[in-house]
Amino acid sequence: MQTLGDNTTAVQNNVGASPSLIKSFLDFISNPETSIPLNSNFLMQFDIPAVVQNAGANNLGYEVFEPNSNDWLTLQEKRSSLIKQHNSNTKTLGAGMSFFGNGIVLPQESLGVERGSTILNGGILGGLYSSNRTQQQNIKTTFLETETSFIDLILRPWVIMTSHLGLIARGSSATVKTNLTIFIYSKYPKNKNQTIPTNDVPAVSVRKVYKFYGCAPVGISDAGYGKHDWGKNSGLPVAAVDWAYNYYTISLPEYSTGVL
C-alpha cells in the first residue's frame, strides 16, 4: 500500500489527483460485505445421541463394558445436569448449542496431480492429470474444562462407547453418531434498522454454516494437572477432541437448518 506520493490521503482532494489507495482500502474493509471477520464468532451445535444420554439406564452404557463399573455410575447425577444444560432452549440459543466447544480446525481439500509418464522428446512436457481426492482427516476441536466437566463426564465416556459399539450396523436408538453444525457469526446486526434487545446484546447474523454428518468422537486429550506450576500454565484449560465423520457441507443461513 502506498503511503507516500500522489496517492496518499493528503493529496486525494487535489484536482486531477488519483484516488487514495489508503482510503480505498479503508472503504473496502469497512464495507460489511468485504470486512475482515472475527474468527472467534462461532457456536457449535450437536445433539447427544440417546444411547449416550441414557447410559446407565440400558445395556449399552459405557459402564457395562468397563471394569469397576460402579465407579462410572457416580457420574450419573452430574451427567444428567450437564445434558440438561446442553439440551436447554433459550431465547437466543437452540437445543444442543454448546458454549463448551471453543475451537475447531475445518477440513482441508486437496487432490493429487501427476504428469503423464509417456516418453517425450525434447522440451515437451507431459500432460497433467488428476488422481484421487485426499481422504478427509478427523475434525479437530477443543472444549473448555469447567468445574462440572463436560469433557470427562460426557465426551470421554462417549469415546469409550464409540469404541465398543462401532460406527456401522446400528439403528437410530443405539447409534453413537450425531451431526455437528458450526454457525459462523457476523460482527454486524441482522439489519441496519435493528433495535438492540433489552439485554443490550445485539442479535448478530450468521454468515455461513458448516455441517458435518455422521460424527462421533474418536479421540480425546487434555493438558492434565500439575501442582505448584506457579502460574506457568495460565491458559484456559481445554481438551482436544477428534471427531470422525461421513461428509460435510457448507451453506448460507437461508438454506440451512438450525438456530440462526
What are the structural domain ranges in the chain? 39-107+137-255
Reported confidence tier of residue 202, pLDDT bands at 50, 70, 90: very low
pLDDT at 63: 65
Extended strands (E) in the chain:
42-46, 97-98, 101-105, 111-115, 128-133, 139-144, 178-189, 204-222, 238-244, 247-251
pLDDT at 197: 42
Grid cell locating 88? 436447554
Query: Residue 98 half-sphere exposure, CB side, CA atoms within 13 Å?
Result: 26
Would the pLDDT of 44 be above 70? yes
Average pLDDT over residues 188-217: 69
Reported confidence tier of residue 242, pLDDT bands at 50, 70, 90: very high
pLDDT at 78: 87
Higher pLDDT, 182 or 98: 182
Asked whether the beta carbons of 162 and 63 are under 8 A apart, the reply is: no
What are residue 247's phi and psi, to 5 degrees? -160, 175
Average pLDDT over residues 211-219: 95
pLDDT at 90: 58
Instruction: Give CA–CA dist 25/35, Å, rounded.
Output: 10
Instruction: Give CA–CA dist 184/13, Å, rounded.
Output: 39
Higher pLDDT, 140 or 41: 140
Instruction: Give CA–CA dist 139/137, Å, rounded.
Output: 7
CATH class belonging to 39-107+137-255: mainly beta
For the whole prediction, is pTM greater than 0.95? no
Would the pLDDT of 103 be above 70? yes
pLDDT at 105: 93
Would the pLDDT of 156 be above 80? yes
pLDDT at 234: 63
Instruction: Give CA–CA dist 204/198, Å, rounded.
Output: 15
Asked whether the beta carbons of 227 and 135 are under 8 A apart, the reply is: no
Would the pLDDT of 247 be above 50? yes
Reported confidence tier of residue 46, pLDDT bands at 50, 70, 90: very high
Widest distance between CA atoms in the chain: 84
Residue holding cell 480505498? Answer: 24
Looking at mean pLDDT, say which of 43-47, 61-65, 70-74, 127-131 comes out highest.
43-47
Would the pLDDT of 196 be above 70? no
Would the pLDDT of 258 be above 50? no
Reported confidence tier of residue 57, pLDDT bands at 50, 70, 90: low
pLDDT at 245: 95
* Closest to 176 measured CA to CA, from 59, 44, 47, 43: 47
Instruction: Give CA–CA dist 189/105, Å, rounded.
Output: 26
Average pLDDT over residues 203-232: 81
Running DSSP on this structure, what letter comes out for residue 134?
P
